[in-house]
Amino acid sequence: MTETTCSFLEWHSRDRRLSSSVGELNPNCEAKIMADDNITELGYNERGELWVRGPNVMKGYWKNTKATMDTKTADGWLKTGDIAYVDTDSRFYIVDRKKEIMKVHGRQVAPAELEALLLEHPAIAEATVVGISVDCDERPRAYVVRLLGQEVTEEDIHRFFKDSNVAPHKRLTGGVIFCPSLPKNASGKILRRELRACAQKEFQGTVIAG
């Protein structure tokens, strides 16, 4: 990431088989996984925000003191905004961006996890998941692009999630919407915020059953 000026994690050649890991710490770098209270350091395999510290971390944002104070602690820790965990072999894994994480019945749900499962379905070409705010809670909703010539219904996808033993709070209680394409920026990144805004407008003042 830009704020670290160069990498702070390294993926060793001996670990090439572990494609889901983003690597281990570089020399002279520190990292920890922090809870939402910004005080509690979490243990192995617990998900929280990744904080890093080291000589390669930026001093701050140019002429933006507030942004610097929001991003860095007084003792030099950089809040990356990534939800991650570290295993017992000190390998780090990125789950999702903190700002994208949904809170469903008080539990954290990473859209990327649900999107990865959706893309395992043989009839789905693209998919993204956003949270819809309903009654002070969030409901995961999927936007899906079918593969050309393939048929899949919302009921099929709900059944697919159930058969995959997805936890109830991670199921698509906000519904499934099929569309010809997903909105993207110039670099090809899916614009979740546009889908979230459309969904929220649709459900404004509406209570979803279930």
Report the distance separating Cα 117 and Cα 190, nearest Å.
17
Half-sphere exposure in the Cβ direction for 206 (13 Å, CA): 12
What CATH number corresponds to the domain at position 136?
A: 3.30.300.30
**What Rg do the C-alpha atoms of the chain give, in angstroms?**
19
Residues 92, 108 within the same domain: no
Calculate the CA dihedral of residues 122, 100, 44, 118 and round it to 10 degrees.
Answer: -10
Of the two residues 145 and 11, the one the predictor is more confident about is 145
Write phi, then psi, for 158 (nearest 5 degrees): -60, -40
The reported pLDDT for the residue numbered 14 is 62
- pLDDT, residue 210, reads 42
CB 124 within 8 A of CB 118: yes
E strand or H helix that includes residue 79: strand 78-86
Predicted pLDDT at 154: 97
Residue 202 Cα distances to 60, 103, 134, 183, angstroms: 40, 20, 11, 17
Query: Looking at the structure, do residues 175 and 130 belong to the same domain, yes or no?
Result: yes
Residue 19 has pLDDT above 80, yes or no: no
The answer on 111 and 68 residing in a single domain is: no
- Look at residues 76, 96, 116 and tell me which one is the last residue of a structural domain: 96
Q: Indicate the pLDDT class of residue 3, thresholds 50, 70 and 90.
A: confident
**Is the pLDDT assigned to residue 180 strictly greater than 50?**
yes
Kindly state whether residues 109 and 198 are assigned to the same domain.
yes
What is the pLDDT averaged over residues 85-113? 90
110 and 34, same domain (yes or no) = no
Task: Give the C-alpha separation, 24 to 15, whole Å.
Answer: 10
More confident residue, 200 or 41: 41
Domain count, the chain: 2
Q: Are residues 131 and 202 in the same domain?
A: yes
State which of 96, 114, 149 marks the end of a domain.
Answer: 96
Q: 18 pLDDT exceeds 70?
A: no
Q: Are strands 102-104 and 107-109 parallel, antiparallel or unpaired?
A: antiparallel
Give residue 30's pLDDT: 94
Environment class of 17 (CB within 10 Å of its CB; exposed 0-12, middle 13-18, buried 19+): exposed
121 and 204 in a single domain? The answer is yes
Instruction: Give yes or no: residues 17 and 110 share one domain.
Output: no
Q: What percent of the chain has pLDDT over 90?
A: 61
8 Å CB contact between 62 and 68: no
Q: What residues have CB less than 8 Å from 202, skipping those under 6 apart?
A: none
CA atoms of 178 and 132, how far apart (whole Å)? 16
Of 77, 96, 115, the position where a domain reaches its end is 96
Mean pLDDT estimate for the chain: 89
What's the CA gap between 139 and 122, in Å, rounded?
24
Do residues 119 and 196 share a domain?
yes
Whole-number pLDDT of residue 111: 92
Residue 165 has pLDDT above 70, yes or no: yes
Q: Are 108 and 54 part of one and the same domain?
A: no
Contact yes or no for 149/161 (Cβ under 8 A): no
Residue 15 banded pLDDT, cuts 50, 70, 90: low
Helices (H) and strands (E) in the chain, counts: 4, 11
Regarding whether 73 and 6 lie in a shared domain, the answer is yes
Q: Which residue has the higher pLDDT, 135 or 155?
A: 155
Least confident piece of the model among 42-46, 117-121, 155-159, 184-188: 184-188
Give the model confidence (pLDDT) of 47-98 as tens digits: 999 999 999 899 999 999 999 999 999 999 999 989 999 999 899 998 888 8
Regarding pTM above 0.85, the answer is: no
Do 54 and 82 belong together in one domain?
A: yes
**Residue 31 maps to which CATH number?**
2.30.38.10
Give the pLDDT confidence score for residue 140 in this predicted structure. Answer: 94
* Residue 177 structural domain: 102-209
